[in-house]
Amino acid sequence: MATHPGIALVTGASSGIGEIYADRLARRGYDLVLVGRNADKLQELAASLTTTHGSKVERIVADLGEPGGLARVERRLETDPAITLLINSAGLIGGGPLSAGQLDDLTSMLNINVVALTRLAAVAARVFAARGNGAIVNLASAMAFIDTPAAAAYAASKAYVLNLTLSLDLDVKPRGVQVQAVLPGYTRTPMISDGAGLPAEIVMDADAMVDAALAGFDAGELVTIPSLEQVAAYDDWAERRVALRPHISLSQPASRYRAA
Ligand SMILES: NC(=O)c1ccc[n+]([C@@H]2O[C@H](COP(=O)([O-])OP(=O)(O)OC[C@H]3O[C@@H](n4cnc5c(N)ncnc54)[C@H](OP(=O)(O)O)[C@@H]3O)[C@@H](O)[C@H]2O)c1
């Protein structure tokens, strides 16, 4: 008889990518803790997952940008040994160009994309590593590789998630915890008005994106870029990045910077 995979805690479960993850994980036999602010959407999804897949579903209605809300989710992760998987999908795009100076919007975005994601990953890393199993999936974005004045802080937040996940893997993989960064390109969800106005050939359906990400997860990939056909292109980038390491912290400046 198949063993029960445990409980998956999914942030951003009320919409888009997180909602599809919840469905796919329920199909795989996980019970769920769904996190989001939209209580009605969470309730609707929970009812549908229970009816369709027979899953046990708990909801946490919480604003992850607010310390009390985030603390409630952290506590749940910390205290429930049945939670074996964290899907960090909550995220938002906003703030516009830095030169537009929308400081409050930028801060709200960073509080979700960076602070909440990091704190939840850190709690999961600690409790999963102590148990010697579990998995953490962080939603980054292909924007991690893109310079864009229109969404500078969003793109930077996703580069942060990629970098964080690479280091987290070094931290916890030896203790039995699987880690994955998922880097979708444009994905048809409310975040990008379901792709309205974008050429269809650069927008993926959320179902296809999540199925690909889960295939990457099953294959044990640390970084999954769902639309990237030539995986060697990413491997090259990763290798070149690592190859810089012996050269970027030395006692002397490079010769071109030395006074004549
Ligand atoms: N769609 C894309 O093109 C795309 C591409 C690459 C990466 N991504 C990443 O994929 C992840 C999911 O995006 P999506 O496309 O599924 O977006 P979405 O449909 O807009 O969903 C965003 C989710 O984040 C939650 N969220 C936002 N602010 C929150 C807050 N303050 N507290 C708690 N939850 C909050 C929302 O829940 P409530 O509104 O209920 O709070 C919602 O469930 C994000 O990290 C995004 O950056 C998306």
pLDDT in tens, 137-190: 999 999 999 999 999 999 999 999 999 999 999 999 999 999 999 999 999 999
How many angstroms separate the alpha carbon of residue 103 from the centre of ligand 1? 20
- Distance (Å) of CA 222 to CA 48, 235, 252: 31, 11, 34
User: Does the annotation count 186 as an active-site position?
Assistant: no
The mean pLDDT of the chain is: 97
Q: Is residue 157 part of a domain?
A: yes
Q: Where are the beta strands (DSSP E) in 38-158?
A: 57-61, 83-88, 135-139
Kindly give the distance from the C-alpha atom of residue 91 to the centroid of ligand 1, in angstroms, as a whole number: 4
The whole-number average pLDDT for the span 9-29 is: 98
Which protein residue has the closest C-alpha to ligand 1 atom 36? 12
pLDDT band at residue 259 under the 50/70/90 scheme: confident
Cβ of 189 closer than 6 Å to ligand 1, yes or no, is yes
In this prediction, residues 9-28 reach a mean pLDDT of 98
Asked if residues 195 and 21 have their Cβ atoms less than 8 Å apart, the reply is no
Identity of residue 227: S
Question: The CATH number of the domain where 57 resides is what?
Answer: 3.40.50.720
Residue of 231, 227, 148, 156 whose CA lies nearest to 185: 227
For residue range 47-78, list pLDDT tens digits in order: 999 999 999 999 999 999 999 999 999 999 99
Any ligand 1 atom below 6 A from CB of 115 = no
142 falls within a domain: yes
Residue, of 217 and 259, whose pLDDT is higher: 217
Q: Is residue 48 part of a domain?
A: yes
Q: Is residue 256 part of a domain?
A: no
171-208 in b/e form (b: 16+ CB < 10 A) is: ebeeeebbbbbbbbbbbbbebeeebeeeeeeebbebee
Q: How many whole angstroms separate alpha carbon 186 and alpha carbon 195? A: 7
Distance from Cα 68 to the centre of ligand 1, integer Å:
20
Q: Name the domain count of the chain.
A: 1
- The answer to whether residue 133 sits within a structural domain is yes
**From 10, 17, 76, 158, mutation site for ligand 1 pocket: most ligand atoms within 8 A of C-beta:** 17
Domain span at residue 145 reads 7-231
pTM: 0.98
242 domain-assigned: no
On whether residue 114 sits in a domain, the answer given is yes
Whether residue 258 is contained in a domain is answered as no
Query: Ligand 1: which residue has its CA nearest to atom 1?
Result: 187
